[in-house]
Structure 1
Amino acid sequence: MAVPAAASVRDATRYRPPSVTGLVDLIDRQVRERPYARALVTGDRVHLSYRGLSVLADDVAARLGGTGLRRGEAIGLAAANTAEFVVALLGAARAGLVVAPLDPTLPRSQLAARVEALGTRAVLLGAPAATGVPLPAPVWPLRVNVSRAGTAAVELAPDSHIAPYVRGAAGELSENDTLVLCTAGTSGRAKMVPLTHANVAASVRSLCAAYELGPDDATVAVMPFFHGHGLFAALLASLASGGCVLLPERGRFSAGTFWDDMRAVAATWFTAAPAIHEILLDRSEREYPGPQAPPLKFVRSGSAPLNSATQRALERTLGVPLLSAYGMTESSHQASSEPLPGRGPLKHGSVGRPTGVEIRIVDRNGRACPVGVEGEVWVHGPTVARGYLGDREETSYTFVDGWLRTGDLGTLDADGYLSLTGRIKNLINRGGEKISPEHVEDILAGCPGVAEVAVFAVPDEVYGQRVGAAVVVREGETVEREEILRYGRDRLAAFEVPDRIELVAALPYTAKGALDRKAVQTRYAP
């Protein structure tokens, strides 16, 4: 009898994740037990302790409490990976507000559209204000000053003027909510995902348990905090477990300073999107410090598929396992991950086992698929959001009886390891043959000299669609189109082999580090 492909894993080690209920008490234990331990290190190497961070957050909470904002109302937060973001996030949460992190680099018109769609009463700004279109809510600049002598202070002077009640989706929020995150929106408009205190707590606990994070751990904030990857994996899990997070200069990743930052904080791990891993690998010969590098325990990859060739090469360079993880904004970030060494076998090409949730593979009729059979990945558990704000139709389609329909295709093996095979919306239909761009990309990326690949659909009068590929060649190497095609013909089905190869200097990526497929299609398909 076929066994349905579903998996669920509970932590069975002696490690116990931190007991938190959400953002409000995220660092409370550390403040009680280790008040002077470093929580944050700024780009100019100034340390901020857990006690100092808590005092600043309380200050922000008190100031926001005097503005007329009420518990359960939404406030925007536009900042890079800086102390301002962290202090504002924790302070607003302590004031009982629902925080909506926003990308500060968005064009002002897009930022205004998101503020209006949600209906935030005000926006905390931890980055220089962009010029142009005004926001439909008052903007309150926030600054955190931390001295080398250990003193810290907040500059925030919110006025009593807040936006009037508007028609935004914030009316659907309640005091059970603590965050609103926007999806990447690469295949359509960004959707607004409300996350409760319970969602956040479950996510943080499962991340800490998966990687056994503790006070001896430290990391560098590579991924932006306004998306789940950087927010949950790097920031919240580190702070909840008593670790330390280095905030890079200007609050954003820089390959040129990355290893200096890692050494400055004695980092034990870091997490990044595949595009950043590719950059670090390409520059490793001249920049990786070798024996002078900090003693890493592991490295993590998420936000997009990581090709196996890059994974193996980076593992050889760094001398530690590179663990692939999988998740979505709608699942409060992580849903599965390859396990730590000694906690289970590493299966490269997979994204590991479920972490605190149940994963099921479902066919087009809603039935569970047998082991090894491809279907849609569904996720169920305490990290799954209840739906989307202001979009009942999309909510009813994506969230079914507590299950999240991810839109991703994959299989589960007999050990419960998930392997992703593509995304339903990305499939290319070549004369009836359904082709996964992600599969073709993974194969072609293994061609010697190839750094990155993006596969896209080329309109065709006969077949409907053909396969195109934009290829980035590694710096200092030369690869011809025919070499890439020959490599593909030996490893792909005939209908999967690209009909067009474009050699390009770089590929477009979203802010969270995922390939921007809309931009690829627009740029190379015509």
Structure 2
Amino acid sequence: MTGTFGDHLVTGAADAGSRTALVFEDRTWTYAELDLAVRRVIARLDKSGVRRGDRVVMQGAARPEALITLFAVTRMGAVLVPLHPQVTGGELGVVCEETAPAAVVADEGFPAGPGLRLTWQELHPEDAGPEAVPQDLPSGSDIAVIAFTSGTSGRPKGVALTHDNLRWSMAGGLARMPFGDNDTALISTPLAHVAVLGGLPQCVWARRGTVILAPRFEPGLFIDLVRDHRVTCAFAVPAMSALLARHPRFRGGDLDTLRWILSGGSPAQTATREQFRARGIGVVDSYGLTETAAGVTYSAPDDPAGSTGSPVPEAEVTVVDAAGTPAPVGVPGEIWVRGPSVAAEYRTAAGPVPVTDDEGWFRTGDRGRFDTAGRLEVVGRLKDTIITGGENVDPAEVENALADIPGVVEVAVSGAPDPVWGELVTAFLVTDSGTPTLDDLRAHLDGRLARHKWPRRLCVVPALPRGATGKLQRARLTTLLDD
């Protein structure tokens, strides 16, 4: 594959310039207008002293200026470092220490960082300004984005994604997602999410479709935008999908144009998936990580629950046992990934650190298994496996089995330390009516799961700990337990 990230926007401006590319609230950009906005930001960055190879930290708020800045920084050969809007001063300090940015682009309330600071207003003034087209374009092997992983503990790691990584990720999505003609996609997550950088919106733009950008996620607003813009596909993490399925308007006519949603971060739980299917909306589960520049597997809308589908073209995905030997079909092991969308290195202040082993495999730390049709099922993180009385329990399996208990809004499962059993399977529930008991949970699981997988402890909480992208922060669950 040749070219650089963002080429699809340039060609879109050339061959479909008058088509609508982006909508945000009451503003609309055609492909030609979006490309012009990118060129104008390139001119302002250049005038401010940003040069090829410089790192530019950007607050990844859900706003059009951030998308335009993404394309401008990468097109001029600089490196974008997108951060979630809720980043703290301490977290920003770590990022700046690791990347030594030449500039920080953010709103007025964003924590201060070193180097040049540009506000959205300064980089995107209302009056038209000069435009620029870089003469020295980056190569495919140049770093386009340093995306910091949203881990639940420890120091965050900056994944160096090249132009080639992002373009191969987009190619994989185009090959597997069920796009139609003239799609309109809704994006309502922070723009620092890797599924935005290398996933659904990039694919829609490559097909000359329209992206609707929501300023935030709220179920009612999501439904309004689908209705008002006749949205055909959308990206949602499982927590968002679950909230949508419980909204009073979910079964009304306002979602009639929505054909499918892409679920990322973890597979949609069975109960939520079935609610969408009954509503006539397909759920495409994907498996991918920051290190793989978004999805490396995508399910078909009619695949069985739990499946994240088969690998995209050019990607190799294997499941191995503790010795690194391929595991038999149906047997869980660690998921390894190899292919052109996989990053080569983490960028740190001390220098690059390899992402892959000597044979190019990225050892994900995730547990999964293949079914007889070659579809991947993700069953959890290796480090999240609960060992109770010498038996292994995958939290995701228990969560999925508990998700359809009446009155339960959200569920998470973790291991609580115990001097006798090692760990106790512990369920954390968010409810909207009533308070289930342990006996209720066990009655619900009777015949569904082996008894050693049943929760021995229950904690009803007002909310589950989640990161900026909606990912469950499992390591924080045990802090919710009463003494």
TM-score, normalization: structure 1?
A: 0.84
CA distance in 2, matches of 1:393, 1:115: 14
CA distance in 2, matches of 1:513, 1:52: 32
**Are residue 281 (structure 1) and residue 262 (structure 2) matched?**
no
2:425, 2:457 within 8 Å by CA — same for their partners in 1? yes
1:214, 1:241 within 8 Å by CA — same for their partners in 2? no
Q: Give the match for residue 456 of structure 1.
A: 414
**Are residue 291 (structure 1) and residue 291 (structure 2) matched?**
no
Per-residue CA deviation, residues 155-205 of structure 1 (Å, 9 max, x unaligned), is 89xxxxxxxxxxxxxxxx997111110111114322110011110110111
Q: Partner letter of residue 316 of structure 2?
A: E
CA distance in 2, matches of 1:20, 1:521: 48
Aligned alpha-carbon RMSD (Å): 2.6
**Are residue 89 (structure 1) and residue 70 (structure 2) matched?**
yes
For residues 231-250 of structure 1, the aligned pairs below 5 Å read: 231-248=197-214
2:441, 2:455 within 8 Å by CA — same for their partners in 1? no
Which of 412, 415, 418 is the matching residue for 2:373? 415
Q: Give the match for residue 143 of structure 1.
A: 121
Q: Give the match for residue 100 of structure 1.
A: 81
**Are residue 405 (structure 1) and residue 376 (structure 2) matched?**
no
Which of 223, 227, 230 is the matching residue for 1:259? 223
Q: Partner letter of residue 65 of structure 1?
A: D
Per-residue CA deviation, residues 305-332 of structure 1 (Å, 9 max, x unaligned), is 3211111012213x12212111100011
CA distance in 2, matches of 1:30, 1:510: 34
For residues 104-503 of structure 1, the aligned pairs below 5 Å read: 104-125=85-106, 127-130=107-110, 134-143=112-121, 153=127, 176-213=142-179, 216-248=182-214, 251-283=215-247, 286-288=248-250, 290-317=252-279, 319-339=280-300, 346-356=303-313, 357-390=315-348, 395=353, 399-473=357-431, 475-476=432-433, 479-503=436-460
Quote the offset at 1:295 in angstroms.
1.6
CA distance in 2, matches of 1:393, 1:114: 14
Secondary structure of the residue aligned to 2:329 is coil
CA distance in 2, matches of 1:113, 1:266: 42
Secondary structure of the residue aligned to 2:220 is coil
Quote the offset at 1:450 in angstroms.
2.3
2:344, 2:355 within 8 Å by CA — same for their partners in 1? no
Q: Give the match for residue 517 of structure 1.
A: 474
1:358, 1:379 within 8 Å by CA — same for their partners in 2? yes
CA distance in 2, matches of 1:481, 1:177: 51
CA distance in 1, matches of 2:479, 2:82: 28
1:207, 1:237 within 8 Å by CA — same for their partners in 2? yes
The count of residues paired between Structure 1 and Structure 2 equals 474
Q: Partner letter of residue 443 of structure 1?
A: A
Moved more, 137-146 or 233-242: 137-146
1:459, 1:525 within 8 Å by CA — same for their partners in 2? no
Q: Partner letter of residue 75 of structure 1?
A: V
Secondary structure of the residue aligned to 1:26 is helix
Identical counterparts, % of pairs: 31
Q: Partner letter of residue 4 of structure 2?
A: G
Which of 72, 79, 93 is the matching residue for 2:60? 79
CA distance in 1, matches of 2:16, 2:77: 25
Q: Partner letter of residue 202 of structure 2?
A: L
CA distance in 2, matches of 1:292, 1:446: 25
CA distance in 2, matches of 1:376, 1:392: 29
Which structure has more relative contact order (CA 8 Å, sep 6+)? It is 1
Q: Partner letter of residue 122 of structure 1?
A: A
CA distance in 2, matches of 1:315, 1:91: 39
Quote the offset at 1:153 in angstroms.
4.9
Q: Partner letter of residue 178 of structure 1?
A: A
Per-residue CA deviation, residues 97-153 of structure 1 (Å, 9 max, x unaligned), is 01111112212232232122221111112x3323xx63122211123999xxxx975
For residues 1-40 of structure 1, the aligned pairs below 5 Å read: 21-40=3-22
CA distance in 2, matches of 1:392, 1:210: 38
Q: Partner letter of residue 241 of structure 2?
A: H
C-alpha spacing 1:387/1:370, structure 2 compared with 1 (3 Å): same
Quote the offset at 1:393 in angstroms.
11
Quote the offset at 1:413 in angstroms.
1.8
Q: Give the match for residue 9 of structure 1.
A: none
CA distance in 1, matches of 2:169, 2:88: 31
Quote the offset at 1:256 in angstroms.
2.3
Q: Give the match for residue 163 of structure 1.
A: none
Per-residue CA deviation, residues 247-268 of structure 1 (Å, 9 max, x unaligned), is 22xx221222111111222111
Per-residue CA deviation, residues 467-487 of structure 1 (Å, 9 max, x unaligned), is 2111122x3455344211322
1:142, 1:154 within 8 Å by CA — same for their partners in 2? no
C-alpha spacing 1:31/1:410, structure 2 compared with 1 (3 Å): same
C-alpha spacing 1:289/1:366, structure 2 compared with 1 (3 Å): closer
Quote the offset at 1:489 in angstroms.
4.1
C-alpha spacing 1:394/1:36, structure 2 compared with 1 (3 Å): closer
C-alpha spacing 1:155/1:303, structure 2 compared with 1 (3 Å): farther
CA distance in 2, matches of 1:153, 1:381: 44
TM-score, normalization: structure 2?
A: 0.91
1:229, 1:303 within 8 Å by CA — same for their partners in 2? no
CA distance in 1, matches of 2:481, 2:267: 21
